[in-house]
Amino acid sequence: MTNRFNEENQGFYGDCRPIAACATALAETALSLIRVSGVKSIELLAPCFSRPAALLNAAGNTIVHGWILDDGKQIDEVLISVYRAPKSYTGEDGMDISCHGGLAAGRAVLQTLQKHDFRQALPGEFSFRAFMNGKIDLTRAEAVMEIVSAKSDTGRGRAVTRLSGALEQEIRQINALLLNSLAEIELLLDYSELDGVSAEDEALPGRKHIEEALARLRVLERTYQAEKLYRDGALVVIAGKPNAGKSSLFNLLLREERAIISEIPGTTRDWIEGWISIEGIPVRLADTAGLRESVDIVEKLGIERSFGLLEKADLILLTLDGSQGAPVLDEADIFTKHWHTKPVLIIWNKSDIATPPENMGHFCALSAKTGDGLNSLYTKITGLLTAKTGAPAERAALGSARQKELIDTALSSLENALAAHDSGLSADLIAPNLHEAFNSLGEITGDVSNADILETMFSRFCVGK
Ligand SMILES: Nc1nc2c(ncn2[C@@H]2O[C@H](COP(=O)(O)OP(=O)(O)OP(=O)(O)O)[C@@H](O)[C@H]2O)c(=O)[nH]1
Ligand SMILES: [Mg+2]
Query: In the chain, where are the structural domains located?
Result: 19-136, 138-446
Reported residue count of the chain is 465
The alpha carbon dihedral of 382, 384, 385, 388 has a sign of positive
Rounded (to 5) percent helix, strand, coil in the chain: 45, 15, 40
Q: How far apart are CA 188 and CA 186, in angstroms?
A: 5
Question: Judging by beta carbons within 10 Å of its beta carbon (0-12, 13-18, 19+), is residue 72 exposed, middle or buried?
Answer: exposed
Closest atom of ligand 1 to CA, residue 366: 31
Q: At what angle do helices 401-422 and 138-149 cross, to 10 degrees?
A: 140
Same fold, 19-136 and 138-446: no
Q: How far is the CA of 332 from the centre of ligand 1 (A)?
A: 25
Q: Which residues, 6+ apart, have CB-to-CB distance to 311 below 8 Å?
A: 338
Give the residue, out of 261, 264, 309, 367, with the most ligand 1 atoms within 8 A of its beta carbon, to mutate for a pocket test: 261
Gap between the Cα atoms of 451 and 395, Å rounded: 30
- Report the DSSP beta bridge partners of residue 286: 237, 273
Q: Which of 237, 238, 241, 243 to mutate to test the pocket of ligand 1 (most atoms within 8 A of CB)?
A: 243
Contact 86, 15 (CB under 8 A): no
Measured by CA distance, the residue closest to atom 8 of ligand 1 is 245
Structural class in CATH, domain 19-136: alpha beta
3-state secondary structure of 114: helix
CA of 169 to the centre of ligand 2 (A): 50
Judge whether 426 and 100 are in contact, CB under 8 Å. no
Per-residue pLDDT of the chain (465 residues; tens, 9 = 90+): 567 776 555 667 778 899 999 999 888 999 999 999 999 999 999 999 999 999 999 999 999 999 999 999 999 999 999 999 999 999 999 999 999 999 899 999 999 999 999 999 999 999 999 999 999 999 999 999 999 888 888 889 999 999 999 999 999 999 999 999 998 888 877 776 655 555 444 567 789 999 999 999 999 999 999 999 999 999 999 999 999 999 999 999 999 999 999 999 989 988 999 999 999 999 999 999 988 888 888 988 988 898 889 999 999 999 999 999 877 665 545 556 666 678 889 999 999 999 887 766 567 999 999 999 999 999 999 999 999 898 888 889 999 999 999 999 999 999 999 999 999 888 888 899 999 999 999 999 999 888 888 888 888 888 888
What DSSP state is assigned to residue 297?
H
CATH for 138-446? 3.40.50.300
CA of 265 to the centre of ligand 2 (A): 8
Backbone angles phi, psi at 304, to 5 degrees: -60, -45
Write the residue with the smallest CA distance to atom 27 of ligand 1. 263
The closest-lying atom of ligand 1 relative to the alpha carbon of residue 287 is: 20
Residues with CB under 6 A from ligand 1: 242-248, 261-263, 265-268, 290, 349-350, 352-353, 367-369
